[in-house]
Structure 1
Amino acid sequence: MPNLNQFKTLTELSEIIQQLRGIEKKLFLARPVKRGEHPTLYANATDGKYRTVCGVRVCDYQLSTDEQWVEANEQMGLSFSGDWQHLKGVHKMVSRYADAPVDVFWVLGEANLPPGMAFKPDLAKKGHYFLAVVERMKLSTLITNLELIAHRMSKIEHVTLDE
């Protein structure tokens, strides 16, 4: 019977994966989400900066004027943390405004992403990554892709990050 391990941090899990694979450090990408919310799509919002179109925030992706297409842009996309310090800061911000516990969804950076999508580092902020559209696609395709990625993500519940 194989050994079962309980991991308490993403860093610990990342180290074990490296040891098992005998490879260099692999990037993990994580995003804190209010419990009960979808890890890659948002609830409908009809106006303001965080307005959504079918669960996609208009401030996250570059949509065409008719909002049927998503333009390629490596510096826009769903936000992910690529290191512990960035994750701590985002978790603190999300926790401050959430009226429920916050869970962390994560995926390895080498995840088999759908065609036309990639994790790209934010050139303006260390530790921040975008799940970017790198080839123009229909909005419906992006939504399907985000659902597939969410299905591949792992969740850590009851997250508390020490200061």
Structure 2
Amino acid sequence: MPDDDATRLAALYDAHAAPVWRYVVHLTGDRAGADDVVQETLLRAWRTPRIMAQAPESTRSWMFTVARHLVIDDVRSARRRREIGVAEPPETATSDATDALFEAILIEEALAALSADHRAVVIRAYFGALTVAEIADELDIPQGTVKSRLHYGLRALRLALQEKGVTR
């Protein structure tokens, strides 16, 4: 940009940027958007030779008109029509429960493949969070039997899950 253009653009900015910015904020209520409109208005003035050739004080009405047209174009734009304003940004994305549902069904089917004795011990230990002693008291069996059924029940559960395609 020649020095003469730079001087004229600086004069345009000094003379008109603040009033145009206030005008756009008055129209839109959007301070950040007003900065963009003022920038685009000044860019258009710089690209229009007749405006750059005029004295900076005689171009204010032209700049207000350009700024108003930019605001109207933005309001009419497809981007604006498709956007929905919200008071607060949405929460972070959450995954749906589909995978958890399929896992629950898979585990339920694998547990159904166990014998009733093994299933009772595994369910109480892992889903009921009971200790070996509590399971033994509840089922009225020795603690060693609980440990044995838990060991063999988990082996059978692992095998049933592997048969359904679940791998480590």
Larger Rg: 2
Structure ranking higher in helix proportion: 2
Structure ranking higher in strand proportion: 1
TM-score bin (small chain): under 0.3
Structure showing greater relative contact order (alpha-carbon pairs closer than 8 Å, 6 or more residues apart):
1
Give the TM-score of the pair, scaled to structure 2: 0.23
Give the TM-score of the pair, scaled to structure 1: 0.23
